[in-house]
Every structure is written in C-alpha cells, then in structure tokens.
Structure 1
Amino acid sequence: MKLGARAFKTGLATAIALYVASAFGFKAGVFAAAIAAVSSIQPSIYRSIQTIIEQVQANVIGATLAIFLVLTVGNEPFLIGFGIIIVIGMCMLFKMKEDTTFIAIIAVIAIMEAPQDPFLEYAGIRFTSILIGIVSAFVVNLAFLPPKYETRLFERLTNTTNDILQWIRVTTRHLSDQPALKKEIERLNEDITRLDQTYLLFSEERIYSRRKGYRRARKLVLFRQLIHTTKKAFNVLQNLHRLDYEIEHFNKDINAQIIVEVDKTLHTHEKLILMYSGRIRKQETYPVDQLSKPKIPDLVNQLMNEYDDKERDRMKFLPLASNLMEYHNELVHLRKLLTSYLNSQ
C-alpha cells in the first residue's frame, strides 16, 4: 500500500480544521469542519482556487436553505431529507461538481439537526465551522505545492507506451500467452485512463509569462499527440490479440512482412519518444526525417488481398487494417509536430 501526498494533505487539513474550530470554541461544529476539510483537498492549485469559490457558494446555499426550512416548517427528519433534495437540485441548476454539492449537503444536515434554542447561534457556528474546514484545506493545498505533473505524465506515457510496444512485438511473433495478454490489456486500459487524468492536471497548471506560456502550449499539443499515438498503438494490440490465431495461419511471407513492417513502426514510435526526452544526441539537424519509414499502406493492402475472394473473412481483418493505418498516420503527424518543436528550442 502506497500513501501519496493527497492522503497526507487530507490528514493535515483535517487536523488543522479541528484545532481551529476548537480554538474558537465551536464544539458543536467540529465534526462539520473536519468533513468539509476532507472533501476540499484538491490535486492542483488551480483546482484549489476554483474549488474554494464554489464550495463557499455551496455552503451559503445549503445554510440559507436549512435556516429557512427550520424557521418556517421545522427540522423533522423528513424535512431534512426534503431539504437535501432541494439543495442537490439547486447545485445541479448551478452546474456545481459532486464534491461541491457534498458541502451544501453537509451544511443542510449540520444546521437542520441543530437544537432549536438558540437555533440561529448554533446555525452560525456550524456555518462558520464548515468555512473553517474549507479554508484549512485551501491553505494546505497552497502550502504543499503539487507534484510536477509534466514529469509524472512523461514517465507514465513512457512506461505505458513501452509496455504496449513490447506486447505488440510478442504478439506479432505469436509468442504471447493469451490469458496473460488479456489481463495486460485490461491493465493497460486503466493506465491509459490515468494518463488522460494526469494530462488534464498538467493542462490545468497556470503559467503567467507570455513566453513560457507559448512554449508550454506547444508542449501540451505535443503531449496530446503522444498520448493519442499511444492509444492507436493500444488499438493495434487489441486487434492483434483478437486475430492472433487467424494471423498465425497466414502464409509465411505475409507473417514475415507483418513482423518487419510493424517492427519498423514500433521502432519509429520509440525513437520519437527518445528524441523528445533528449536521449538521442543532437546533430546539426535532428534525425527525425532519417527514421525508417514503414510501408504500412502496402502491408494493409496485402492483408486485405489475402482473403480477396472471401468477403466475410476479408471484413474480419478490416479493423486491424484500419488501426494499422491510423497508427501510421498518427506517427507521421507526431513526427511533424516533434520536428517543429525541436527546431524551435
């Protein structure tokens, strides 16, 4: 089990919220402060700033509704449930996120279950306690700088891509264990999802220098294309896995050509990633255009012509042919973007 920075920040924010609420003598609102702190931790500074505004608004909405209901109709359990339904609807109307809606729900429950006398005093304490929890989480988010998402993104991208390319090599040679490959495909699919999430966090980082902002915008475009190309490679792996038995029974010449051309494609992909990371020595001109150019279109034609007289079998290989062409085209586009990016450095 690995505990990350978010677990540490959550615990610290909760402790701070409890100490501050106790210091103000808000015994009735300590629990609400702790829950608010737990639900307010965010992975980036941008999200922290965005979240604190929304959560303060949600707290105001929830508290206002709760006070109105208690003063007009009471605080019976079914009325608390009714209040929660209304506040969820209001948050949906304002297009608030789930964690923001949760703050509004906490405010409704914390205030409506408060003793009747003196009600407004208790309501004020609990409203303020929730604010303490929100602010405590915000301070912790600012105090502990988020990780370098660019570094994390590139590491995940490299590891995921390498795993996919290795499995493609094994599968084209019909050496893969099918049950093991099936599990790996499921794991790789989860890795790609995490890759998208990390890219989103990286894209949310703010740069206030115009020059750095322009350079970073180009880097975002390049990373998006790197991820997109990796997804196309994953699609090829999925189809190779599905058609492994049929491809194994092709004639030897086509099997040999599949291995040669796919290996060229994988080599191109690997070399492009190495070029971006700076592991390939700089020359007068970057050797992007000197990479081997796989003849994927010719390979696709051969695949489709293998069953030219059998339309049903021919259609079976259409997804693989399409994936190979898409992968090839994305690599060509990545090559152009990388050439432009490296020449601008």
Structure 2
Amino acid sequence: MTIGARVLKTGLAVALAIYLSELFGFPSPIISSIAAISIQPSISRSWQNTVDQLQTNVLGAILGLAAIKLFGQTAISVGLVCIIVIMICIKLRMEATIALTLVTVVVIMESDGQGWWFAAERFFQVLTGMGAAFAVNLLIFPPRPRKQFNDQVHEAFDELSLLLRMAISNELKEDVHRKEKEKLVGTLRKLEERYTLFEEERSLLPSRRQARARQLLISKQHIKALQQGADLLEAVEEHYFAAPEAGKWAKQFDDQIEDLTKYHEQILLKLEGKLKNGASFEPPEEREARLAMQLTEYLIQDPDERKRLVFVGSAVFEYAFHLRRLERLADQVMQRDAEGAERGAD
C-alpha cells in the first residue's frame, strides 16, 4: 500500500491548520482542521473550492444568526436552517461545500446567542483551515495535470497494446485477460477524469493559453484513439470468434492490428521527441483498402452469416483513422511549439 500525494498533503494541511489555530489563539482547532480536509486534485479546483466555501459559509453564518433572532435556539430551527442551506448549496451547484457549511451553521446556532463576534471568529477558523489546505496544495508536490495525463496515456496504451496483440491469437489465459481488461477500463476512466482536471487549469499569458489549447486538442484525440482501440478489442471478442471461417482471416487481421499497435506506439514516441526527424511509420493505406475490398466480396456471398467480420474490419479502419488524425495533430502541435520557441529565442 502506497501513500499518495493527496493523502500526505491532507495530513500536512491539518497539521498546519492546528498550528495556525494555536498561533491565532482560537479556542479550538477542530473547525480549522475540518476545513483543511479539502485538498483538491488541481490548483484550479483548490482555488474554486476555497471561493465556494467562503460564499456558502458566509451565507450559512448569516442564516444561522438570523434564525436565532427570529425563532430562538431550538432543535427544530437548527434543522430547518440546515435544510435551507443544503437547498441553496444545491441550487448554486456548490454541493461540495455542504458539509463544512453545516458545521458552521450548527456551531453558530449552538453558541448560546453570542452574536456576530462569535460568528466572525468561527468564520476566520474556517478561513484558516481552507487557507492551510490551499497553501499546502500549491507549495508541496503541486498537481501537474499535463504530466499526469501523459503518464496515464502511456499506461493505458501499454495495457491496450498487450490485449490487442493477443486478441486474434487468443493466447492469454482467461483470468489474465480479464484482469488486464479491467485495468484498461479503469485507466481509461481515470484518463477522462485527468483530462477534465487538465481542462480546468487556467493560464494567464496569451502565449501559454494558445499552447494549452493545442495540448487540450491533442489530449482529447489521445483519449479518442485509445477508446477506439478498446472498441476494436470489444469487436474482436464479440464478433471475430463467432464468425464462420474466421480462421482464414486470422493472419490478415493479426497483421493489421499489429501494424496499428506499432503505429500508435511510434506516435507516442514521436511526441516525446524520441524519433529521428522525418521518420515515416504510417501503415500503408493500400493494405487497408485491399482488406476492405476482400471483406466486401466476402460479405456479398452471404450477407446474413458473414457480417460479423465486417464489424471487426470496421473497428480496425476506425482505429486507423483516429491514429492518423492523432499523428496529424501531433505534427501541427510540435510545429507550432517549435515556432513559438523560436520567437521566444528572438
């Protein structure tokens, strides 16, 4: 079991919140500590969470004090204010702030009517905890969505490559295949989440915003290509082995998938700058055209029984299409980045 960065930073944020509570002379560090348990997976989300928490906690404090003045300090009034706060947070799409805002409401309404100064002190405790969390997230192992995204792209490709290369030959043990496929599905899901974090990041400089927009475009195509590879794997498993005379097509499909898998790998290497300039590795489209023609002739002979292999062929062609699009985008992004570097040098 490994300790992730967010786990470590949460502990550090709580420790810092307690230290600051003692430094500022707060009667108890509990509220600050609870507020510090808000480490987010990106700086952008961390800042947005801080802003949202400030808004909803101010609102909760005002509603709590108003309820005490109007209805007094009763269990029913506390419950009603909590319901109202929850409804407002949901309406404002700030559901993540509900728990801490309710803590603020309950503490203020259970304060025996000590008034605005008590509410302000509790608010500053919340602010201290959120500030500690934001500072720790910003200064200690700050999230790097782009690097994390690229690492997960390689992880997803490694898992996909193994499964695709063994798909037609069906040489993997069933339990191994199942585990590897589950890993691939999980990695693709994490990749979508990582892309969302990457998309939320903001750049202040115009030049950086343009470079980031290009990276977002190619990142989206990375996901599309990997997902299409996973769809090809599904098509092979569902249709290839159920197709009549599938064995006669084994070498053609196996060679085609091997070429595309290698092509995918070389695109990733190209983006990392590990290939020689001018290296050409795109699979010949003539082979795909020949396979399409052969599948068409094969289908015409018996459309009802032989359409399964056409589904597999279609998935192969779709995977190839998105890989070529990925390479074109890679070339454009690398060219624009090189031009930007030259302008910066001048």
TM range, normalised to the smaller chain?
Answer: 0.7 to 0.9
- Between the aligned partners of 2:246 and 2:74, the Cα distance in structure 1 is 77
TM-score, normalised to structure 1, is 0.87
Partner Cα separation in structure 1 for residue 273 and residue 306 of structure 2? 43
| CA apart distance, 1:330 | 0.7
Matched, 1:105 2:97: no
What's the counterpart of residue 19 of structure 1? Answer: 19
Q: Which whole-Å deviations, capped at 9, do the CAs of 1:308-339 have from their partners, x for residues lacking one?
A: 46555445456434422321211121122122
Is residue 257 from structure 1 mapped to residue 275 from structure 2 by the alignment?
no
In 2: Cα distance, 1:183 partner to 1:220 partner:
30
Report the more deviating stretch, 298-307 or 174-183: 298-307
Whole-angstrom CA distance in 1 between matches of 2:297 and 2:150: 39
Distance in structure 2 (CA, Å) of the matches to 1:251 and 1:13: 59
- C-alpha distance in 2, partners of 1:203/1:245? 40
| 1:190 lines up with 2:186 in the alignment | yes
2:91 paired residue number:
93
Question: Which residue identity lines up with residue 291 of structure 1 in the other structure?
Answer: E
CA distance in 1 between counterparts of 2:18 and 2:224 reads 45
| CA–CA distance in structure 1, aligned partners of residues 66 and 306 of structure 2 | 69
Cα drift, residue 94 of structure 1: 1.8
CA gap 1:25/1:316 in 2 versus in 1, 3 angstroms: same
8 Å CA contact 1:264, 1:293 repeated in 2: no
SS at match of 1:287: coil
Instruction: Kindly indicate whether residue 312 of structure 2 is the aligned counterpart of residue 339 of structure 1.
Output: no
Following superposition, the deviation at residue 206 of structure 1 comes to: 3.3
Shift in Å, 1:243: 3.4
Q: Which amino acid is the alignment partner of residue 331 of structure 2?
A: T
Matches for 1:131-210 after TM superposition, within 5 Å: 131-144=127-140, 146-210=142-206
Alpha-carbon distance in structure 1 between the residues aligned to 2:324 and 2:269: 16
- Counterpart amino acid of 1:180? V
- How far does the alpha carbon of each residue in 1:225-257 deviate from its partner, in whole angstroms, 9 at most, with x for none? 12210111011112222335325x635431111
Indicate conservation of the 8 Å contact 2:163/2:181, yes or no.
no
Q: Hey, what's the Cα distance between the residues in 2 that align with 1:312 and 1:208? A: 58
The answer for the alignment partner of 1:293 in structure 2 is 284
Distance in 2, Cα, partners of 1:53 & 1:251: 59
CA deviation string 1:119-141 (max 9, x = no partner)? 54443332222122122212222
User: What is the aligned partner in structure 1 of residue 50 from structure 2?
Assistant: 52
Q: Distance in 2 between matches of 1:312 and 1:85?
A: 60
Within a 5 Å distance, the mapping from 1:260-271 to structure 2 comes to: 260-271=255-266
User: What amino acid sits opposite 2:26 in the alignment?
Assistant: F
Q: What is the count of residue pairs matched by the alignment? A: 336
Over aligned residue pairs, what C-alpha RMSD do you find?
2.5
1:83 to 66, 81, 84: 81
Deviations 1:70-115 (A, max 9, x none): 222133334323222211111122222x322333222222222x23
SS of the equivalent of 1:118 reads coil
Give the conservation status (yes or no) of the 8 Å contact 1:254–1:302: no
Corresponding position of 2:341: none
> Which residue of 1 is the match for residue 315 of structure 2?
323
- Structure 1: runs of 5 or more not aligned: none
Stretches of structure 2 lacking an aligned partner (at least 5 in a row): 339-346
Q: List, as ranges, runs of 4+ consecutive aligned residues in structure 1 with deviation greater than 6 Å.
A: none
Segment drifting more, 118-127 vs 9-18:
118-127
Structure 1 residue 152 displacement after superposition: 2.2
Distance verdict in 2 for CA 1:322–1:82, change over 3 Å: farther
Structure 1 contact 304–321 (Cα < 8 Å) conserved? no
Measured at CA, do residues 149 and 244 of structure 1 come closer, stay the same or move farther in structure 2, by a change above 3 Å?
A: same
Match for residue 63 of structure 1?
61
Q: Which amino acid aligns with 2:108?
A: I
User: For the residues of structure 2 that align with 1:75 and 1:313, how far apart are their CA atoms?
Assistant: 76
CA distance in 1, matches of 2:211, 2:101: 40
